[in-house]
Structure 1
């Protein structure tokens, strides 16, 4: 005999019921078949909601009742030919009349007992089975309606279900004795107690019904049809990369279902495990998919970890105090209190010092558990031997599950390291002696991040997903987005990096897309985005709470740089070409470095000096390897180098500056470049990387601009003043030409002091032939005392700056 079970999602509409019927008929061709059915999708929830409304004397239950009656009657009319409808419609109306009477009683008494809840919640399965049974009959199939309430006997104690297997097995075996052919239709979920009163097997109990029948009849396998392709490595609604498992053991299935995998109702495994009856979990809508087979563990299983799951409807109870230490029987008393209150403990952890016990219980049982425990230990609490029981809310359990975990060293370390690297704090840890499950209690808000992090760590092809949130989409930002789009496949195939842009902002608009922003059409999307707000942008990134999040700043905004500390303190890495933060007061610079280390978030700013050139990285490696920096000489402004390489006194100086600005070599305010402030910030950053505690005002600046130009209020005024001072610029140029020298704006650090200024450089100096907008840095160190280590190349321009930012992003990905 085949035993099949179909869930509510498979029966959500007449069209789906017809599909289910086709599946049943295929099985029926090979052998007699018992089909167990849940209620139509959503009906059980409605039945319980109506009961709650009636108990509150809310007549709104009547509207829901009418809606459900219409739904079932419409299903009859759509599924069954007109000539065969009368009897079925009459049965359906009779059941709804009974329901109406029950709800009226609840409404009038203003009382809803557990017994009434069980009775009303089982009507959905009775109704669906009656209708589906009639549908099969209308198709000419010989069917037998099996009323599960007459066969399955259980005891319900405060929602805990206990099946009387002796009576149940005898009832089922007697019923099916001599009945070996045809189709048997049975409602799932419903049962009766020892007194013959209708009851249920608990939410999800239709799986349990199919398992009970299978065990009683000693069937080789039971097939559970649902709306997914079996049991998954994780919840695919939370972890999109999760995939279905072809085979798992009973023990693994028990762990996964107990910890929240909703495909299988946990008690389902109890009657099947002893007789080694296989469970086949298949997709109603994709019957050709292999699904998942649950059977005894085999050596064929090559996985160390089978699945990741979670429970989010729990609370932590903690009891602690010196009065617990070394006291025999304390734990016994503790758990005995919970047992007497019929409270199930989901997780247990106890300090080896015996100073505390921590347990996880269901949300709705936490209050009763705390009150019972405080009452039981009232004397010890009054004598300050122990503290009153505390309850921690908004927590969840995440768990790794796998039969072979005990055979593999380091899994716990990998799990906790992966969580820690993403700033997911672990509140409690538990691991069974079978080592089939490692559980950790974390904040509920971190569940999605934790599941995705662990799935990436244990199940996916070694790769890393980076989630970028970018502010500033002008010259540099737009080039960065173009580079990200172009290299998308290369990063995934060669570097195993999946880089997604989830947030974009300019000064006016911002957009977010948790699935990733289309980099082909980001401009249109941003134009139609919401109003930009720096606080809102941060809070959205924080709320998304995604693993490997990176904030990218392509602006020169002091206000935006002030938000870096907030990102870093939330374990969100920061990549920036904005020099303001690193050139700010030393105490603020140091705070960012400390936050980066404390919260494991990268703070990278290679493009602060030399655009895409590896200047900071080179200096960091010199310092880290123990080399001592004696002197740094550098041309650090691609803008100024471009200006003085192109100015020859034949054309006005201000025209050369305009050209540099037009080609993207200067800041939007070119005074920042020409004043030397930009170069001063860069040499300050390099000085700090060597370990010096310098401030910006410590940098000696030799200005070649007039005070009026330096203090100009806008670009128009600035350019007018440059035009006015043309004779001065000609004089500077002519003097250099007379001395066969080139004009270079040089930064120097030596003996703990730094200075910047315009210098004449002779033909024998490495700076002499520096062309275009190139930068050059000479590192004189203990290892390079005479012939310096030289870093040279393009030091300005949107493309190279964007590539430097891109390189920092890749560094985070490879971390």
Structure 2
């Protein structure tokens, strides 16, 4: 059986992108022996520069990138892969860039499958969302984004499989943010101030560089919207009711410096929320889609310690999926929902799924 060469064009060499390359290099021999798949990175880019690999120079990407990367446009990449007659193309988006998302459709039209860790494409307006999927059908390409929700956890796939097997999903609820999971898990179990735990979360790299992005609830809302659309609910981002954790004097209208010195203002309101809840209850920041009432909400809730949400530890994510068949007992998916290693591994799993699909298509046409 001949080896299938997969050409991965990687956009973004930050934490996730560089970890992905290293995971592939580490497992290259394994993929060749076990799956007959040769994963290659002929083009690697950051936001402004691209490195075009010369045949025969493998696995020295960091040194090569520093020496030989040149400014690029998406058109240059499309032209290059045509000139080189590269087949089995997968564009991997390991950025948070809107510009690359705008290039998804031209890439699909020029023979690329897409794997993304970038949530933007699935949370833009429904017109773009639908146009992207129309192009995937017309050009018979695949778009995978398992890491959009829960990093390496099989959340998107599970919800998709349930929905398209005819199962009626009635509700999806969960803790979708690793940073907010860490903050409230500690705040519920320790006699420590909210601002001290927030500072620890920032120091440990759990939050975005500006933690207001986490506390605003927008990231949780994006993940909830992705799952709602996965079961063909026609929601826009503006339909989500978001109860932000930010205070009027600590919101996005103030400078980062003002925010940094005033974080102790969080302590009083959160302490009140903690001591006024029912006994043996804990605070959790959740996203919730109720399909029956057509409500999408992101909010702080109080749950019994004895529940799955109440027992959450560390920075874990936990997603509950309620369905008609399972009734009141939800399907629960829990585990690490953040981190460059698990996210890169999730991206790699999506790449290998597309490689397997290409292999099947090739076998059919032979």
Do both share a fold (TM > 0.5)? Answer: yes
Given the two structures, how large is their TM-score scaled by the length of structure 1? Answer: 0.41
Match for residue 108 of structure 2?
568
Offset at 1:813? 0.8
Counting only pairs closer than 5 Å after superposition, residues 183-582 of structure 1 correspond to structure 2 as 461-515=1-55, 518-519=58-59, 521-535=60-74, 538-540=77-79, 542-543=81-82, 544-582=84-122
Q: Which runs of 5+ in 1 are unaligned?
A: 1-460
SS at match of 1:647: helix
1:653 aligns with 2:201: no
Dislocated runs of 4+, deviation >6 Å: none
Structure 1 residue 514 displacement after superposition: 4.7
Question: Contact 2:179–2:206 (CA<8 Å) still a contact in 1?
Answer: yes
Is 1:741–2:253 an aligned residue pair?
no
Shift of the alpha carbon at 1:618? Answer: 0.5
Alpha-carbon distance between aligned partners in 2 of 1:472 and 1:666, rounded to the nearest angstrom: 20
Looking at structure 1, the residues matched to 181 and 350 of structure 2 have their Cα atoms a distance apart, in angstroms, of: 25
**What is the aligned partner in structure 2 of residue 801 from structure 1?**
343
SS in 1 for 2:121: coil
CA distance in 2, matches of 1:490, 1:688: 36
- State the shift of 1:715 in Å: 4.1
Counting only pairs closer than 5 Å after superposition, residues 672-751 of structure 1 correspond to structure 2 as 672-712=213-253, 715-736=256-277, 739-750=279-290, 751=292
Instruction: Provide the residue aligned with 1:607 in structure 2.
Output: 147
Q: Do the aligned partners of 1:777 and 1:792 also contact (CA within 8 Å) in 2?
A: yes
Q: Distance in 1 between matches of 2:95 and 2:175?
A: 22
| RCO higher in structure (CA 8 A, sep ≥6) | 2
Aligned residue number for residue 321 of structure 2: 779
**Aligned residue in 1 for 2:127:** 587
After superposition, the Cα gap between the structure-2 partners of 1:569 and 1:798, relative to the gap in structure 1 and judged at 3 Å, is same
Question: Which residue in 1 is equivalent to 2:309?
Answer: 767
Question: Root-mean-square deviation (CA), in Å?
Answer: 2.2
- The answer (yes or no) to whether the contact 1:501–1:517 under 8 Å persists in 2 is no
Instruction: Assess if the C-alpha contact under 8 Å between 2:217 and 2:245 holds in 1.
Output: no
Task: Tell whether the 8 Å contact from 1:469 to 1:551 is kept in structure 2 after alignment.
Answer: yes
| Candidates 745, 754, 757, aligned match of 2:299 | 757
Q: Give the unaligned 5+ runs of structure 2.
A: 358-366
Q: Deviations over 1:653-687 (max 9, x none)?
A: 34433433443433334322221101101110110
- 1:754 Cα deviation (Å)? 1.0
Report deviation, 1:558: 1.7
Length, aligned pairs only:
353
Q: Which moved more, 1:573-582 or 1:758-767?
A: 758-767
* C-alpha contact (below 8 Å) 1:469/1:541 kept by paired residues: no
> Residues 685-712 of structure 1, C-alpha deviation per residue, up to 9 Å, x if partnerless?
1100111110001011112211343324
Rounded to whole Å, the distance in 2 between the matches of 1:478 and 1:796 is: 16
Residue 642 of structure 1: aligned partner:
182
Query: Aligned equivalents of 2:39 and 2:171: distance in 1?
Result: 39
Contact 1:609 1:636 in 2 (8 A): yes
| Deviations, residues 618-665 of structure 1 (Å, cap 9, x unaligned) | 011111211111111111111210122233675553443343344343
- CA distance in 1 between partners of 2:43 and 2:138 (Å): 25
Task: State the secondary structure of the residue aligned to 1:634.
Answer: strand
**So what's the TM-score if we normalise by structure 2?**
0.89
**1:727: Cα distance to partner?**
2.4
